Chain A
Amino acid sequence: MALFIVRRLLQSLLVLLAVSVVVFCAVYAIGDPIELLVSPDVAQAERDALIARLGLDLPLWQQYGVFLWRALHGDLGNSFVHGMPAVQLILQRFPATLELVAVAITLTCVLGISLGLIAGLYRDRWLGRGIMAGSTLGFSVPNFWQGMVFILFFAVWLGWLPASGRGPTVEVMGVPLSIFSADGWRHIALPAVNLAIANIALVLRMTATGVAEAQSQDYVRFARAKGVKPGRIVRRHILRNILIPVVTVIGMEFGTLIAYSTITETVFSWPGMGKLLIDSVYKLDRPVIVAYVMLVTLLFVIINLVVDMLYAVLDPRVQLVEARA
């Protein structure tokens, strides 16, 4: 296990390094870094000073060293638009995104697994077939359009829920969160469901397939022959065995949800870091884009590492080191 962790950590560092090289090439080597990193309305003298300060008169490999050194110290440049460190700006927006993703993941677990169980158990009846057909629809509908349909129905026509924004937030340990007030829940409901639906469909289908397969396995047949009650077979025998891959997928989907939150946040004007990214793309606020890429890479590397380890903890049969070799 220790060997595996060390190896995975080394791999993760390599990935981070590779991304930093790609980002460095995109920003510094291909384009004119001055144009990218310094706002165009800066005077020439100040511009020269900045060139010297950013080390842009140095050879390329030294520039990369400087870039990496500064990145390691959490300095990825200042936002042109907001005039503050890009990293700080993104971290400020992080709680909003995390909250949205957390609610969506909870919805995925609850609805995805329970509906999947029903669809798997009753797969030859109309209920199961209906759920499976619904799931096909669920991941065929483009995420952003689905959000707009939600807005049209629930905000414009019915007027039940607000169409945008985060509503009032409550400070919990210095972090503003919406989920502790009723109005906050009204605001988070639509974006969270919008973000979750594709994932619910995915988890639902995985669970349904798993349940259908498990039902013909020997251990289930044996339990049935032994006279174990159907409810207990489902809970103790089937569910336990299919949960391992499902939990892994949910873990990996955490990262995907953070990526897809850019779309949901844009549709619902949710002030998270995805919305910040899109706004920065529009305003050509490149330091923020660079910082976003680096931070999200770091996040992904951590998520992948945690998921891999969770997998080993959940399923003692998995031997990670051998599997990699």
Chain B
Amino acid sequence: MFTLPSIFKCVGRRSVVASGQAAPPAPQQQPASGAAAVVTAAVATAPVDRVPHVEPLRTTPARATILRKLRSRPSAKKSLLALGLLILLIVAAPFFAPQNPYDLLALDIMDGRLPPGSANFDETITYWLGTDAQGRDMLSAILYGLRISLFVGLCAVLISVAIGVTLGLLAAYRGGWIDTVVMRAVDFILGFPTILVALVLLAVVGRGIDKVIIALVVVQWAHYARIMRGRALQERRKEYIEAAQNLGFPAWRIMLVHLMPNCIGPVMVFATIQIATAITLEATLSFLGVGVPVTEPSLGLLIASGFEYLLSGDYWISIFPGVALLLLILCINIAGDRLRDSLDPRR
């Protein structure tokens, strides 16, 4: 997960001092951030510690507004709370799940397809959400499945953001043929529906958690590259970039330390919502049988395994994992939505 303050840092860019705070802490003699660089360049003879010290977050007006907006929406609080709870459940799953769903020896085929609330033969486990065809406790399977779904979603988004941000920055800062090549590739990828590209890709390379992540990265990096390039093109004409260039900083440093922190806000907001998209996509691919392997069932695969029993009325195998998936996606979507609203200066 990202941390909220890291997003807010980048959004306070409208006030010069705020954007000074945007950069990671830098050594005193070499102010790394753009705004601070402008200040030092202007008063080159003055000691550096004249740059006024500003408390982060609360004292900057823009950030205070954002935090207030975010706090004033009860649904934002609730969804973040629910999301936190879900993540806690997912992380702590091995400690309180009634059963290890991967331990095939613990499963008893006699317990297969028991309805919710029934107990096993010697009444050591109560299957609150029923069991699947292999006699696996659905509650445990869902908790472990959530882990895989969230892991795949987070990995895919993190890698896509890294690739997209790097390429977007390069395209915007360097321009020329790099820009042309990157943006043509972006257009090419975004010209097709994600589900189809990922499906065909996985149909060729086979199933596996790593392959699913690769497929998700292939279809998603282009969004970030496009957003990053758009922001960076606006930002790179500003004075602090010019100042940094005149100070003779190498290009990689200007891009990473000066340009990137001031552009990454919109990317991060989009990325939060994309986590939900990635999780849905993974579930869909697993449902279609090209996603994660059967040995490590994600929620999508659990739902798929219950599909054949749905028509005979054994609803719990498919429905409960779906509810868990829906809760996870809804929490991320609502939280991301509110985050976007509160970061939007027009509201």
Contact flag A282-B276 (CB < 8 Å), given A140-B333, A142-B283: no
Contact flag A145-B329 (CB < 8 Å), given A262-B288, A281-B203, A293-B200: no
Q: Mark B313-325, 1 if CB is under 8 A from A, else 0.
A: 1010011001001
Contact B193 A259 (CB under 8 A): yes
Contact B199 A262 (CB under 8 A): yes
A255 an interface residue at 8 Å Cβ cutoff?
yes
Contact B195 A142 (CB under 8 A): no
- How far, in angstroms, from A282 to B313 measured CA to CA in the complex? 26
Q: Identify which of B42-50, B230-238, B303-311 touches chain A.
A: B303-311
B188 an interface residue at 8 Å Cβ cutoff?
yes
- Chain B residues lying within 8 Å of A260, measured Cβ to Cβ, are 193, 195
Contact A141 B288 (CB under 8 A): no
> Which residue on chain A has the smallest CB distance to residue B286?
A144
B203 in complex: contacting residue of A137, A163, A289, CB < 8 Å: A289
Q: Please report which residues of chain A, range 250-308, place their CB below 8 angstroms from some CB of chain B when the two chains form the complex.
A: 255-256, 258-260, 262-263, 266-267, 277-278, 281-282, 289, 292-293, 296-297, 300, 304
| Shortest distance from the beta carbon of A159 to any chain B beta carbon, whole Å | 11
A15 an interface residue at 8 Å Cβ cutoff?
yes
Contact B191 A15 (CB under 8 A): yes
B interface, by DSSP: helix, strand, loop or mixed?
A: helix
Q: Please report which residues of chain A, range 115-142, place their CB below 8 angstroms from some CB of chain B when the two chains form the complex.
A: 136-137, 140-142
Contact flag A142-B288 (CB < 8 Å), given A262-B196, A293-B200: no
Interface size, chain B (Cβ < 8 Å): 35
Q: Mark B168-194, 1 if CB is under 8 A from A, else 0.
A: 000000000000000000001001110
- How far, in angstroms, from A297 to B200 measured CA to CA in the complex? 12
> Which residue on chain A has the smallest CB distance to residue B203?
A281
- Chain A residues lying within 8 Å of B199, measured Cβ to Cβ, are 262, 277, 281
B294 an interface residue at 8 Å Cβ cutoff?
no
| Shortest distance from the beta carbon of A12 to any chain B beta carbon, whole Å | 10
Contact A145 B313 (CB under 8 A): no
Q: Mark B26-49, 1 if CB is under 8 A from A, else 0.
A: 000000000000000000000000
B88 an interface residue at 8 Å Cβ cutoff?
no
- Chain B residues lying within 8 Å of A289, measured Cβ to Cβ, are 200, 203-204
Contact B337 A144 (CB under 8 A): no
- How far, in angstroms, from A47 to B289 measured CA to CA in the complex? 31
B284 an interface residue at 8 Å Cβ cutoff?
yes
Contact A142 B200 (CB under 8 A): no
- Chain B residues lying within 8 Å of A144, measured Cβ to Cβ, are 283-284, 287-288, 300, 303
| Shortest distance from the beta carbon of B82 to any chain A beta carbon, whole Å | 13
B342 an interface residue at 8 Å Cβ cutoff?
no
- Chain B residues lying within 8 Å of A136, measured Cβ to Cβ, are 330, 333-334, 337
- How far, in angstroms, from A256 to B196 measured CA to CA in the complex? 9
Q: Please report which residues of chain A, range 84-111, place their CB below 8 angstroms from some CB of chain B when the two chains form the complex.
A: none
| Shortest distance from the beta carbon of A301 to any chain B beta carbon, whole Å | 8
Max chain B Cβ within 10 angstroms of own Cβ: one of A18, A140, A155, A300: A140
- How far, in angstroms, from A237 to B22 measured CA to CA in the complex? 45
Q: Please report which residues of chain B, range 199-219, place their CB below 8 angstroms from some CB of chain A when the two chains form the complex.
A: 199-200, 203-204
Q: Mark A145-164, 1 if CB is under 8 A from B, else 0.
A: 10011011001110000010
B7 an interface residue at 8 Å Cβ cutoff?
no
A143 an interface residue at 8 Å Cβ cutoff?
yes
- How far, in angstroms, from A142 to B333 measured CA to CA in the complex? 13
- How far, in angstroms, from A267 to B308 measured CA to CA in the complex? 10
- How far, in angstroms, from A292 to B204 measured CA to CA in the complex? 13
A26 an interface residue at 8 Å Cβ cutoff?
yes
Contact B310 A145 (CB under 8 A): no
Question: Could you pull out 24 A-B pairs where Cβ atoms are within 8 angstroms?
Answer: A15-B191, A136-B333, A136-B334, A136-B337, A140-B329, A142-B325, A144-B283, A144-B284, A144-B300, A148-B303, A151-B310, A152-B315, A156-B311, A156-B315, A157-B313, A259-B192, A260-B193, A263-B195, A263-B284, A263-B287, A266-B287, A281-B203, A292-B200, A296-B196
Interface residues in chain A, defined as those with a beta carbon under 8 Å from any beta carbon in chain B: 15, 18, 26, 136-137, 140-145, 148-149, 151-152, 155-157, 163, 255-256, 258-260, 262-263, 266-267, 277-278, 281-282, 289, 292-293, 296-297, 300, 304
Interface residues in chain B, defined as those with a beta carbon under 8 Å from any beta carbon in chain A: 188, 191-193, 195-196, 199-200, 203-204, 276, 280, 283-284, 287-290, 300, 303, 307, 310-311, 313, 315, 318-319, 322, 325-326, 329-330, 333-334, 337
Closest 5 CB pairs of A and B: A259-B193, A145-B322, A259-B196, A281-B203, A256-B193
